[in-house]
Amino acid sequence: MPSPVPAPAGGSSESPIDFRYYGNLLWKNRILLATAAVLGLALGLVIAFAQTPEYRASVMVQIDPPTPTFMSVQEALGGGYWQNADFYNTQFRVLRSSALGEKVLDRLKLKDPAEHRDAGGEFMSHVNVEPIPESRLVLIHVTHRYPKEAALWANTLADVYIEDTISTRVEAARKAYEWLQERLGATQKSMREAQDRLFKSYQSQDLFVPEGSTSAVTSSITKLTADLIEAQARRIGLEAALKQIAQLKAANQPLDAVPQFAADPTIMILNTQVSAANNELTRLRQQYKEGHPEIQKLLLQLDQAQKTKERQGTQIIAALRADYEQLQKRESELRGAIDTEKAQAASQSRKAAELDAIKKEAESAKGLYDVLLQKLNETDIAASIRSNNVSVVERASAPTSPIRPNKKRIAAVAGFLGLLLGVGLVIARDYLDNTIKDPEEIERYLHIDLLAAVPQYDEANVHFVTEAYQNLRTALIFGRKDERGQIVLVTGTVPQEGKTTTIVNLGKLLASSGEKAVLVDFDLRRGQLHSRLGLTREPGVTNFFVNHEDLDALVRPTRVPNLFALTTGPLPPNPPAILTRPNMQDFLDRLRGHFSWILIDSPPLASVTDAQLLARYADLTTFVVQYNTADKKLIRRNLSALRKVTDTVLGVVLNAVNVKAKGYYYYYYPHDVETSKAPNKPSESKPAEDIAVGNR
């Protein structure tokens, strides 16, 4: 069952691009597109045939990698090779240079001395250089209006380029040979001067150091340094011993701990004697008294031994002091000798360095002379060989067909551009024409169900019009909410969209099915319902609300059985005041009690608010949109305003559709064309009385 479709969130947000819609749009305009493509194709052919044909001749040249100017005989004979991208890029630029073009024009005798213009540059505008990938081959293309001239120019360009390359290499070798000769003479003179300075230095320098050996001064310094270190070590040892002796004497302790005392033989003997005497004294004291002669004898021996030990210690200390002073003096002497030797060594080092520098200078001059002499001989031989790294692989021949213009390509591109222009025109026209022309746009743009698409009225398509209104009647029957009388509001966006015609034809169909229906004209500003039914405007709705006349007397029958009408009556000065009367609901309830369908005709939404006031009382609301008339945005804005006051909007009726335009003929009614042209036959779908004339 059809039901109102709620407006999407955001209101005016557009749906994604409908590719099927645009596909159908292009298909409907296929004749225009085909015409644009054909016109573009024709224009392309005219342009192609109007152009002057040009021919291209190509000569294939092999360019080998360069060989250096200073090279050996083996390299000159073809042994050396290395790849150099910079070299190839340079050669390609040379092949396109104006200077080379000038030489080619001189060879062809095409240059006019009287003309002051870049003739070489104009010639090179006909030349194109194309290297063949993964090879040393290069194609030189020359374009000309005449095929024989193109081949002649290409071959001449290759010949001049090869000759220019050979002359450049020979000239480079000649200049290198001259430079080498000049440098060789200067180098030979420098070598001889360096050798003379070396000989004189050997004679003047007082150096006696054999080749690869160490000088006597260096050996002497080494020996003196070793002696100094040894003397310092002995002095430090004696100094430490003397300090220890002084500390022991200050502490009144024996000097036996000093290494020199402990190692002295005399001290060692005396210490042994003292130890033996002490042992014997201890034994005797155990037997005798202190005054015993034996004890006194031992005490005397001990005293003498101690005095002898002290005298020996004094001698040892004196010897240590003498050795210490001698070592100090030797250190001083050794330092002076070392300083003297170092000064002599520095002098010899300076002389040796000067001699070594002169020697290296002489060797360098001799080496440079040998190298230059060798290169001079090799360059002379290489220049005499005159090898060339450029050769013609395949000479150009006169082409048989032009390279430009490419008529097929120009025609294809022009046809494609014409087609694109046609597509652009179709889409632009569709974009600028902002009206409803397609039944699919109702659901795609307005987001609401399409109840019926009513064709534009014609004697030949009465059957299709009847079918459309029957679809609308079916939608209302399935949309009714209960069995009591249903109030159906029919409104639209702008005047003259066919609201009155729709309500009249719908009322006739409902009445023909046996249900009582009444048509109420609430367009209190310019009501036209009475003229469509052959009635007078008065009396009508305003008589009930203003004069309080009886409603039953105001409702009048029509020529169609079960179909009644309630016209506007006298047009009031303020229609909204009538629609907001308190007895409005009682008025509609009384109609519900007598009729199954109450069809209300209302003014358009775009100009007045009458339809919004009436929508509050309606059970079902139908929105009429005329084909290719009202602006889409205006329709959607009014439909949105209507939805804000009621949720009874059932759908849209697209009125006055041009079914013969752009393939719409069988959009909803796929009948055979001849059926519509055949004589009218009795049909259950045809209303009891003729459809109202027109769609307005």
Q: How far apart are CA 453 and CA 435, in angstroms?
A: 15
Q: How far apart are CA 371 and CA 247, in angstroms?
A: 80
- Do 590 and 596 form a contact (C-beta atoms < 8 A)? no
Q: How far apart are CA 256 and CA 423, in angstroms?
A: 126
Pairing of strands 620-626, 55-63: unpaired
Both tokens of 241, joined, read 């011993």
Q: How far apart are CA 540 and CA 578, in angstroms?
A: 13
Q: Which residues of the chain have pLDDT under 50?
A: 1-15, 69-70, 74-82, 207-213, 662-663, 665-690, 693
Which pLDDT score, from 0 to 100, does residue 332 have?
A: 84
Q: Which of 411, 483, 489, 457 is nearest to 648 (CA)?
A: 489
Q: How far apart are CA 261 and CA 263, in angstroms?
A: 5
Which pLDDT score, from 0 to 100, does residue 354 have?
A: 65
Which pLDDT score, from 0 to 100, does residue 71 have?
A: 52
- Do 579 and 614 form a contact (C-beta atoms < 8 A)? yes
Fold of 55-178+388-394: Alpha-Beta Plaits (3.30.70)
Where are the alpha helices (H) located in 518-668, listed in sequence order? 529-533, 541-546, 551-554, 575-579, 584-594, 610-615, 632-645
Q: How far apart are CA 488 and CA 57, in angstroms?
A: 85
Both tokens of 665, joined, read 């003929």
Which pLDDT score, from 0 to 100, does residue 353 have?
A: 66
Collapse the DSSP code of 651 into the 3-class scheme (helix H, G, I; strand E, B; otherwise coil) and give the result: strand
- Do 86 and 410 form a contact (C-beta atoms < 8 A)? no
Which pLDDT score, from 0 to 100, does residue 224 have?
A: 79
**439-665: which CATH number, 3.30.465.10, 3.40.50.360, 3.40.50.300, 3.40.50.150?**
3.40.50.300
Look at the chain and count its residues. 696
- Do 3 and 620 form a contact (C-beta atoms < 8 A)? no
Which pLDDT score, from 0 to 100, does residue 600 have?
A: 95
Q: Which of 170, 592, 198, 527 is nearest to 363 (CA)?
A: 198
Both tokens of 519, joined, read 């048509």
Which pLDDT score, from 0 to 100, does residue 67 have?
A: 60
Both tokens of 143, joined, read 């374009």
Mean pLDDT, the chain, rounded, equals 78
